[in-house]
Amino acid sequence: MHYVDNYLPTTQTKSAKMEKVGIGAVDDHWVATLEVPFHRIKYTFEVIGNDGSHKIVGDRGIYDFNKKNLEADGSYFRVPYFHLIDMDTTPEWVKKTVWYQIFPERFANGDKSNDPVGTKPWNPQDHPTRDAFYGGDLQGVLDHLDYLKELGINGIYFCPVFKASSNHKYDTVDYLDIDPNFGDKDLFAKVINEAHKRGIKVMLDAVFNHIGVNSMQWQDVVENGPKSRFADWFHINSYPVEPYHKPTKDKLAPYETFAFEKTMPKLNTANPEVQDYLLEIATYWVKYFDIDAWRLDVANEVDHHFWKRFHKAVTEIKPDFYIVGEIWHSARPWLNGDEFSGVMNYPFTLQVEEHFFKHTLSAQKLVEQLTDQLMMYRDQTNQAMLNTLDSHDTARIKTVAGENEELALQAMTFIFMQTGSPCIYYGTEMGMSGDNDPDCRKPMDWEKKYSPVWQEVHELVEFRLKYASTLGQGTTTLEVTKAGVIKVTRKRENTITAYFNTTGKDQNLTIDPQLSQNYQDGVLAKDGYAIVVE
């Protein structure tokens, strides 16, 4: 690269040799770090091919490399001025956080007096139905904060806790109240305060794409039709809005919903009244309860204009506030510093699942595609991604791994070695199984504490936090050895090298690992991993 300040002549350019940092599915990735003392820069690329060709790749095309073309102003790309307010900054604390996702209705029943009618006995072996209640609540979380501290995590991600009709609470009735089956605001405040005392951050789930059919706003529309003062709060195609029917070839549904869920009418977030209402909610829980983060449900179906207002509102209260969107695809438009800190990193983690569990992706293809994924975003964005292999929306990793606990732990460890903030779904440390929703939402199996699986997860969490600087912010190199073993190299304060044997047979590896599974006497066995720290 050749570069110079925008207002200096191109005869004064400096040069920087680019480093090849990864091989993707289609492209190789090269990087150089440039210093910009005056906050602006112009730069161009000098490329020498293996065939001896010598070119300039500039802003207006590709030219032969010579002095005239190198000094031509039109050959240079430009950053006019790099404003601090335009920079994509992400919270530093997130890069040193291991999250633990809690589905409140199934974590622990600490107060039987608030159990809903028909609450079932707590049985981790049950296969829950969509409408079942087991009595999990905030008192149960409060009672187990010391357990979470002992496990080692330092962030709790709560599925919705606000008043709602269902067990999952994604059909909100009142965003400004805690669901009475979970407790009340005083109890919730105590949970947050006690978590903070233990060094644990708290992230809540914001369901702003849609609201529940039992909400006051929607019921007013049901009763008053187009005369309702909330009629413009929704995307309504025809009246009456009930009964709901799914769209057909010839007829639209009476109103837009999340997916085709009639109990979740979609909010019109372009309406200033809706925006103000939702921003009041977003800031209320930050100002008065000191939450640290919002996870945004169905974030890609809400307009960018609203998310920009949302970002400004919460970061004005807490500059290091963490905002993570639920987006299952490439998320560049949301990750420019004025909307989200990061997203749930599904394009990354789903490829891990395809290789480790489904065996539909080779080790080489996995490494190439993950490298491409890393190069898609800025470093600080990758560092703020939320990396999880399972959740309330997906089958549990042990089930996807065919009940092979070693394979599940191997894949989990691979995620913990990556850039991004790792997240454990409640019960994974207990070796819990579960198929797709609702089976993945079984009551927590508290009898499995201190089992071998628990110990391995505990050690993994401790390792991640011990080397948080390198694993949270270090460089990442992914490759496959000649023997087919996946090698992950992280560098910053330490050099951490992790090996993962997914070949199905023993592989010789002479190392002295600090953390390992199925490694002994220089042999890394099937489903094994070994991590070396230098």
The residues carrying an active-site annotation are 297, 326
| DSSP 8-state class, residue 267 | B
Burial class (CB in 10 A: 0-12, 13-18, 19+), 17: exposed
Cβ distance 118 to 173 under 8 Å? no
> What's the N-to-C CA distance of the chain in angstroms?
32
* Collapsed DSSP state (helix, strand, coil) of residue 58: strand
Cβ distance 438 to 130 under 8 Å? yes
Q: In terms of DSSP bridges, do strands 61-64 and 54-58 run parallel, antiparallel, or are they unpaired?
A: antiparallel
Six-digit token pair at 378?
């800025």
Rg for the chain, CA atoms, rounded: 26
How many angstroms separate the most distant Cα atoms in the chain?
A: 82
| Reduced DSSP (H G I as helix, E B as strand, rest coil) percent helix, strand, coil of the chain, to 5 | 35, 25, 45
The angle subtended at Cα 468 by Cα 465 and Cα 470, nearest 5°, is 145
Question: Amino acid letter at 306?
Answer: F
Six-digit token pair at 359?
């065996």
Q: Find the helix or strand (DSSP H, E) in which 386 lies.
A: strand 386-388
Cβ distance 306 to 270 under 8 Å? yes
d(CA 297, CA 271): 19
Give the count of alpha carbons within 13 A of 157, CB side only: 29
d(CA 238, CA 89): 44
Ranges of beta strands (E only) in 152-258 are 155-158, 162-164, 172-178, 201-206
- Main-chain phi, psi angles of 129, to 5 degrees: -90, 170
- Could you write out the three-class secondary structure of 69-85? HHHCHHHCEEECCCCHH
Cβ distance 430 to 394 under 8 Å? no
- Main-chain phi, psi angles of 342, to 5 degrees: -160, -175
Residues paired with residue 3 on neighbouring β-strands, in sequence order: 14, 43
